């Protein structure tokens, strides 16, 4: 099946610094990628939809100036957490859409392994 890779898988940073997380579709082109945030024992919360070549679409309540998303190519989307704060510590997961239709089968929506961010 298709592969989506996230890097880094774990990152620890100090408060006030910025951290960049990459999401790559390794063997297909993804016009759309999604960034989710997962809190402990909670569901995945959709943060934003990343569209190649255009601005990301953020969900209500997600600060676009804090969580910068760039989808510069068809295989790479990045999430930058700016001025990180301990409350930003979380598990961030990206998913990439293969094709343009509804995610109706195993071949269309793939998830990365996730990136655990710890802000000290």
Site membership for another protein, residue 41 (CB under 8 A) = yes
CA proximity to 24, closest of 12, 37, 14, 33: 33
Residue 97 token pair:
């859409």
Stretch that binds another protein, among 14-22, 66-74, 78-86, 100-108 (CB under 8 A): 100-108
Site for another protein in 52-71 (CB under 8 A): none
Show the beta-strand stretches assigned E in 30-88.
32-38, 44-51, 57-58, 67-73, 76-81
Least Å distance, CB 22 to another protein, is: 14
CB of 114 to another protein, least distance (A): 5
Sole binder of another protein in the list 13, 46, 74, 76 (CB under 8 A)? 46
User: Can residue 32 be called a binding residue for another protein (CB under 8 A)?
Assistant: yes
Count residues near another protein (CB under 8 A): 25
Q: Examine residue 25 and tell whether it contacts another protein (CB under 8 A).
A: no
Contacting residues for 46 by C-beta, under 8 A, at least 6 apart:
34, 35, 36, 59
Q: What separation in angstroms does the CA of 73 have from each of 19, 47, 53, 54, 76? A: 20, 20, 7, 10, 5
Contact residues toward another protein (CB under 8 A) are 4, 6, 32, 34, 36, 41-44, 46, 49, 93, 95, 97, 102-106, 109, 111-114, 116
């Amino acid at each position: 099946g298709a592969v989506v890779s996230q890097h880094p898988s774990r990152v620890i940073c100090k408060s006030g610094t910025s951290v960049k997380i990459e999401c790559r579709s390794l063997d297909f082109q993804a016009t759309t990628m999604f960034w989710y945030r997962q809190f402990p024992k909670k569901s995945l919360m959709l943060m934003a939809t990343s569209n190649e070549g255009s601005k990301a679409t953020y969900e209500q309540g997600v600060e676009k100036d804090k969580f910068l998303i760039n989808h510069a190519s068809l295989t790479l989307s990045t999430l930058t957490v700016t001025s990180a704060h301990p409350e930003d510590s979380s598990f961030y997961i990206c998913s990439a859409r293969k094709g343009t239709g509804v995610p109706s089968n195993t071949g269309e929506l793939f998830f990365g392994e996730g990136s655990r961010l710890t802000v000290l």
